Structure 1
Amino acid sequence: MSATDRLLIVGSNARNQDLLAAFIHRLGYAILRADTLAMLTQLLDDAQPLRFALVDITGFDAAIWECCARLHARDIPLLIISPRQSAAMRQLAFTHGAQTIMEKPLVMRELADAIRGFMQAAPGDAG
């Protein structure tokens, strides 16, 4: 598995991140993890190679959208996880590069299918 076969998971809840990381590892994929905006910013500054990013926006302030835009500018597809899907949130997500939005609570089979789809798509082709 090459470095470009990794996916990035972003979330502010450490327990949820642990569960998500374990779930993704069981699917056979490697991850990079950012639990804070500072960690995410550092990963972006380091230009880590990634296949796609799964971003749980819960608990982050509006600065998360700037980070999403930076990922999008690097042609890294985004899957946004949100506690709700208001029209305003959907507009923000799509404006900042989201290809897909999933609402909590997550249906794990749908999440697994989405992850597989993003990971099997050619880089820059997942949208």
Structure 2
Amino acid sequence: MPQNPTILVLNRNQRNLDILDQILGAEGYEVVGSSDLEALDCEIQARKQSISLVLMDITGFNHSVWDSCECLRRENIPFLVLSPHHNSAVEQQGLVNGAKGVIVKPLAVKQLLQLIESLIQN
């Protein structure tokens, strides 16, 4: 039996981590949550062979969040950046660092799930 795809989620807000865990878990994904960049980087190194996708909510993080994005790009791990508002500079920085897309919050669950499915299948 194949293992469920693993999605690593970065979000400072534990409630948001719990909500994403519930939503994604109901779709059959294994969700690993992280609320800080150090823990995220440790999870990337420990699980890099099994991570299917990373959702990175950049809200509340400083510029070092882009170092983590660069690490994901080097490891060929697809990721999406979640941003609190539309910002061309954030979108450009995310794409330069290898993001498969930048999604502005609030999230539309159905569209997020469709995007995740399409990225994981590729």
Which TM-score applies when normalising by structure 2?
0.91
Shift of 1:104: 0.7
Letter in 1 for 2:62: D
- Structure 2 equivalent of residue 65 of structure 1: 66
State how 1:1-127 maps to structure 2 within 5 Å: 1-2=2-3, 5-48=5-48, 49-121=50-122
Q: For 1:18 and 1:74, how far apart are their aligned partners in 2?
A: 26
Structure 1 segments of 4+ aligned residues over 6 angstroms from their partners: none
Corresponding residue pairs, total: 120
Q: Distance in 1 between matches of 2:105 and 2:47?
A: 29
The gaps in structure 1 that reach 5 residues or longer are 122-127
Unaligned stretches of 5+ residues in structure 2: none
Identity of aligned residues (%): 28
SS at match of 1:21: helix
Query: Displacement of 1:68 after TM fit?
Result: 0.7
SS of the equivalent of 1:53 reads strand
Q: Matches of 1:103 and 1:77 in 2, distance apart? A: 18
- Give the TM-score taking structure 1 as reference length: 0.87
SS of alignment partner, residue 39 of structure 2: helix
